[in-house]
Structure 1
Amino acid sequence: MSTLSEMLAEHTDLPGTAVDHLQRVVGEWQILADISFADLLLWVPVDHPGSRAVTSSDTATAVCVAQCRPTTAPTVIPSDTVGAVVGETEHPEVAECLRTASIVRGGGRLPDEQGPPHDAVPVRADGRVVAVLTRDSAPVSGRPPSLLEAAYRDCAHHLSDMIAEGSFPSPSEKTDVNSSPRVGDGFIRLDTAGMVTYASPNAVSAYHRMGLTADLPGHDLAASTRSLVTDPFDAEEIAATIGAAVTSAGGRRMEVDARGATVLLRTVPLRPAGTSVGALVLVRDVTEVKRRDRALLSKDATIREIHHRVKNNLQTVAALLRLQARRTDNDEAKVALSESVRRVTSIALVHDVLSTSVDEVVDLDEVVDRLVPVMVDIGSLSADVTVGREGSLGVFPAERATPLVMVLTELVQNSLEHGFDPGARGRVTIESRRSSRMLEVTVRDDGRGVPDDFDASASDRLGLQIVSTLVTVELGGTISVAAGRDGGTAAELRVPLGRREPRG
């Protein structure tokens, strides 16, 4: 499905401010769908037909660019309507709304303002109508509405007026559908004095969880909430925010901690025609969610501390090996100890990156860039060779990053030590290409090269044996070492990305 931005770019030439406003409307319209018990469709005037044909002989009037279904009632539009281009016959209320720039009440609206089966609400931005929002709901039954239904529909009526005026949603309030409470989580209706005229059962339960013993209806919500919050400074700020919702146009999201319970509150001022008629407050009890979040944060901190200590221990081992290499007179032992220092250092760098990362993933580019100076320092001093990187290696899971970094370290070190004649100048390049399925890395040098019949898997060099084992067993990939296109040596590594089958 195309995104809202793509649909608007395809069918309209709206200015950026109008597009931003429609993005905010779609970000907040779940509230209107829930309190209207209605499906919402967003229509924009069409400049040219889209991918779907007009369903009648009428000239195309509007195209549907977004759709929202209620969580408080069954949907009446089960099919996907986004992308449909219609004429005036199919949706006459949309055409009329665009012509009159006012709300069109349709489908037999009852005199007591109960929810209509069909409404068309103009969406105004910067003083002009840029879209139409339609509400489609099931026919209203003959029974009297419950207190909850009456409170919901009353707020829906005011929010529709505010959308038609362009005052909702407010650009000053950040849209966050992940942390914002929904209507079904808890709903409170306030009058112009900040008194609770209705509170849903879920909202009452959330306040009881915070320690409230009295009923919410008939009480000042700001004062009641202030008395429950433990921190006096937070209590005053929260009370002032609730009070501002009925005295000014400011709506906010906030987190309330009271007596071991954590509740999210969101205030939505109701100010049609610039006159306050109260506010609605959405409430969500997130006590258990916060408890699990704290447990996860504690585990994450423990894991990062473990990585930090492992890194410190590995650096200590590397320092001891380096000290031992300096004290020995045997050249072969010095080379072996230096190679061990390099291998231990490469593993320590992976743990160093993980100790500062929230996720168990490693940025390979960062690790390789930090390893290159170490490899050059430990490498052969008899040649003047530089090491560079081209392309991005990307991010790898921690359990696969360590063997991959060791493989790259061994390949680069092998080029530095065995690829150049004494006194020669040259370059080693790490070239990487990454697709959705495969990471391909080539470690290329411009040195003396390898024989045509060279077989890396049959080599008796410890470094190449380590590389072959790590690539095939740990990474499930392939490795080949051959003469380069323009001389030198090219070691080509192919590592599959994504989920691997478990090793037998």
Structure 2
Amino acid sequence: MNNSATIYALCKKYTDLTDLDIKKVMEVSKSLEIMAEFYESDVFIDVMSRDNDIAIVVCEAKPSSGKSVYNSSVVGEKALRKNEPGALRTLKTGVPSRDIRAMTQEDRFVKQKVFPITNEKKVVGVIIVEKDISDEIKEEFSIGNLSPLKQKNISHQFMTAINSNQIINNNLGDAILIFDKEGFLRIKNVKADTYYSNIGYMDDIQGIHYDNLSLDNTTFDQVVYSYDGNIVEQSEKNEVKVGKYYFVIKKIIMKERDLKLAMIISDITEIKNKEAEIISKSVAIREIHHRVKNNLQTVASLLRIQSRRCTSEEAKINLQESVSRILAIAATHEILSKQISDLISITNVINSIMLNIKRCFNNASKQIEINLVGEDFYIDSDRATAIALIINELIQNCYDHAFEDMTEGEIEILIEGDEDYKIIAVIDNGKGFNVEEENIDSLGLSIVKSYVKDKLIGNINIYSDGKGTKVILDFPLFK
């Protein structure tokens, strides 16, 4: 059974997705192998089953590098909320999830990036990119102040707690402190050392009693005896401010013989600071961007009127391309007119470009699918405008040349990178061309190369053959 047939059969068996929803999932699955190679990781598509706490794996792709986490296929397997919280969260909310800890069907710890698949603004599935981190988790925690035999016993109990998900996997990136039945700290991770050092604890906190580490003025007895002995995660998150830092604290009672209480601390200082920064900005900035956007749209309207009056087909095409470029610039100003921060969501920009291109180059005889997959990031408005123009030219070039003799085609836009460096790839399955004989005088290509070099301080690489063209941009996030 091929991928499409398998996806259709599994969706019909386990979900309430419509045929159009399933078709969208099947379309995205065609680019799964490209993504597996691009990310050098296992990539999957999950869909929500009729049981809202269970997802079903309907498609998978493994990298050719041999870095797969899996020994066998997991297509048709169930993904549970307690094991893969990120996948279920994105399926429910449509919000991408980044660096979420999860446990595979083969009981290995992985870090996941999860991106939604949407059809008519409805989330119909998710793309999951996974990286093995089992060894990282074991090295992240320290146990001390006990005899070797006691350390070994507690270490075993702690790993059992992780493997049974008593400690929620997606919290492992936060500070985790584990206290014994007397209230003394026995296990801590590196984040715990960092957080407590930041707020003024000069010495090693290993072995210190909970009452001296509590950030919300609770005592060990108050916490432990407020539960009935069952493993129950505290339903209300407790937000506290310590100095210039903001934290959210959650507590879990443990049933292990020597371990009693887990405290998970999330640092939300950056979020709080950004909220304060947004509030302090002037609303007048949004009004300026709103007016610029309106003026650009007026210019675009005038060019459309001029285009309709032209008798020259070449002039009409050139005016149409100019309209597309002006709207690409207007897209960033439209986004800025609705927010105060100068940082712009790059996925919002690209989605606006995709819509503009479809409006400007609508052709009933060609069915061109454009899919955007990747992790969103924010960038200043000047370079966001440069990226908007670059993506506009690349997609426009696909419409003009890649599918010239074809009735249908696909364009994939992939975003990847880390906190310092970003990569954007535009990939089509068109007819391709000879890169050595490319038209270096093309205005569109000149715009792309100029903006990548001068505005993004980055690089551009173009690869093409009879199966399509791949354009990869890489650039630093900060100048």
State the TM bucket, normalised to the shorter chain: 0.3 to 0.5
- TM-score of the superposition, structure 2-length normalised? 0.48
TM-score (structure 1 length as normaliser): 0.45
Of Structure 1 and Structure 2, the greater strand share is in: 2
Q: Which structure has the greater CA radius of gyration?
A: 1
